[in-house]
Structure formats: structure tokens, C-alpha cells
Amino acid sequence: MTQREKEIVNILKEEPTISQDDLAKRLNITRSSVAVHITNLIKKGIVLGKGYIVNEEPYIVVIGGSNIDIQGIPYSPLIDNDSNIGHVNISLGGVARNIAENTTRLNIPTRLISVIGQDLYGQSILNHASSIGLHMNDTLVVSNQKTSTYLSILDHHHDLAIAINAMDIMESLTKEYLQSKKRLIEHAQLIVCDTNVSESVLEMLFTIAKGIPIFVDTVSTTKALKIKPYLSMIHTIKPNKAELYALLDAPLTMDIMTCAQLLPTPYAYISLGHEGVLIKDHNTLTHIPTPPLEVANATGAGDAFMAGLVYATLNHESTLNSAYLAMSASRIALQSESTISDQMSEAQLLKTLKET
């Protein structure tokens, strides 16, 4: 870098959203000169496009939904068609946002590409992200729509009974918007994507991110179908049993081992609920049972599991060790009343791994 470029980079580290006019005034040079220097820094890969992210440390990109979670938990077995006595929790959620918060808490620099409304819920999400160090400069803020809301009812065992997901705002996250984040995506160590995004956004992602490991959270049996054309291009996928069968159009009578072998994705971690996890490492399958645990809230366990997989992969762990780390992250989440445990940290993850 030239001396002038170093001066610009130092300013951008402190003020990534500074305008070129203000940069010019600060340095006592013309705006056109600033534009030339910025262009050169982008070409060198030192600055990653708008928002002026300085490429000084490895980071991951997480793409998908951000929600407000409203969760009802009954004190006794659910009674259909009646009012059930219990308690209600309101927290921040969304599969991608949850994964991003967990990876941030695990000391992984994380950039979240999502979409929120310019409302109280959206502002809460931004404020919380800022407080924990999660970067949301690349999240789209829409003024005329409401932030996504996820309404869930758990049973008295704290397992999901039914839910409604109001995510119309996700349609605002277009392939053109993702294209505008091309440079950010191209420089990521790893990408995590949920299937709340549209088919066109997924197509754009797999076009842009060639050569970068892509992890996919399938979210649901219906939404999982969006990634069927890209199964061979995915590095790691995390479906549950129902999502796996849906992805492969497999009959439910098919043995789970046989079904898993048909998956063209090289790495898969298939959730079997209380029966544990089935690991697919190319042509090798391994089943790991789940140690017993008293569950406080099962909602965020899958998101924590994915964050654990990301942590393990970035630390070059084997698939077996990756599964143990991911399950340890899940255990931390399962013991928390909140969707995201405030106990989630790298130290706590390693401690839980050792204990279990």
C-alpha cells in the first residue's frame, strides 16, 4: 500500500461508513482522488466494497433470515382448541441470525446478510448485534415492511408443537442485492446459508461463491427443496431425518443409512432428535447417540449445532470431532430458556465438550 492508502485504511477502520466527501476533507485532497484510492484498495482486496470493510482478519458470511421470536410454553400438556396456561418469551431469532450470533459468541468474526424492517423490532436486532460484535452493515433495512416474526408454541416437554413464520420481508432480499455484496462473499473463509432466502438468491450465491465452503441449514421440509439443484456444490448440510427424505424424494420405508448414502453432499450431519446424529463423511457413515440432558428450550439447538460445526471446520477438526463440538454447542443452547444462550462462548464450548 502507498502511504496515502494506509492513511485511508486507518480512517476506514474507525469509520467504515464515512463518505468520500468527508474522507477528502479529512485528508485535504479532492473527492476524485479519494475515489481513485478507494478503487485501488478494492482491486487489491484490502477494502471489500461499500461499507468499506477492511480485509484485515478472516471472517465468515451468514445469509438468511432475522426474526423476532415469540414463544409460548404451557405449564401442563397442551389442550387443543383451548387457552393454555403458561408463559411467553420474546427474543431475537431467525435461523441465520441465530447462527451468526452463536458464531460471534464463539469468537468467529461474522458478517450477516439479512433483511429487517425499519421498525422497533429491526432496531432491537441491530442494537443487539452491535452489543455483541456481530457485523450487520450488510443487512438490508426496509422502511415499508415489518421485521419477520416467528410465533411458536412448545409442548410441556419444551419441544415444538406448532409455529407460524411471517417472513414476507425476505422477498426484499433479492439476487441483485446479493450481487452487490459479491466482493464481501468472495473474500469469506466460509459461508452459511439458510433456506429462508429465495431460489434466485441461492442461484446467485452458488454462482458467486465458487470455491468457498458453503454450509446449508435446511430449516424445514418445504424450504429444503430449494437447495436440491445445489446438493453436490454444498460442503456441509444439516438436515433432520424428514428433510433428508424430502431432499432425496426417498420413501419413508427406506433405511436411514441407505438414504444418507444417496446424498451427494460430501459432509452431512443428520439430526435424529433424541437418537443423536448421523454423520456422513463422503461414503462413511457414523452414528453418535445423544447423552441424556434435561431440556429447557429446544428451539435454538439446531442453530447452535451449526455454529459448532463452523467452529470445528475453521479449526480443522475431523468430522467426528466436529460432531462432538456441534453437539456440545447444542447442549449449551438446550439448557437455556432463551433461543441463544448467553453462556455460549469458546471457553464454555470446550468445557462442555470435555464434560460430555
Domain-embedded: residue 157: yes
Domain-embedded: residue 30: yes
Determine contact, residues 170/65, Cβ cutoff 8 Å: yes
> Same domain, yes or no, for 29 and 158?
no
**Residue 196 sits in which domain range?**
60-355
pLDDT tens for each residue of 85-116: 999 988 899 999 999 999 999 999 999 999 99
H or E stretch covering 246: helix 241-248
> Same domain, yes or no, for 24 and 124?
no
Q: What is the pLDDT of residue 207?
A: 96
Instruction: Report the domain count for the chain.
Output: 2
Domain-embedded: residue 327: yes
> Same domain, yes or no, for 328 and 291?
yes
CA distances from 142 to 27, 49, 148, 149 (A): 34, 21, 11, 15
Give the chain's mean pLDDT: 93
> Same domain, yes or no, for 117 and 255?
yes
pLDDT-wise least confident of 7-16, 128-137, 245-254, 299-308: 7-16
> Same domain, yes or no, for 182 and 325?
yes
> Same domain, yes or no, for 308 and 225?
yes
> Same domain, yes or no, for 36 and 105?
no
Domain-embedded: residue 167: yes
pLDDT bracket for residue 340 (50, 70, 90) = very high
Whole-number Å distance between alpha carbons of 16 and 50: 9
Domain-embedded: residue 118: yes
Domain-embedded: residue 55: no
Domain-embedded: residue 204: yes
Domain-embedded: residue 232: yes
> Same domain, yes or no, for 39 and 64?
no
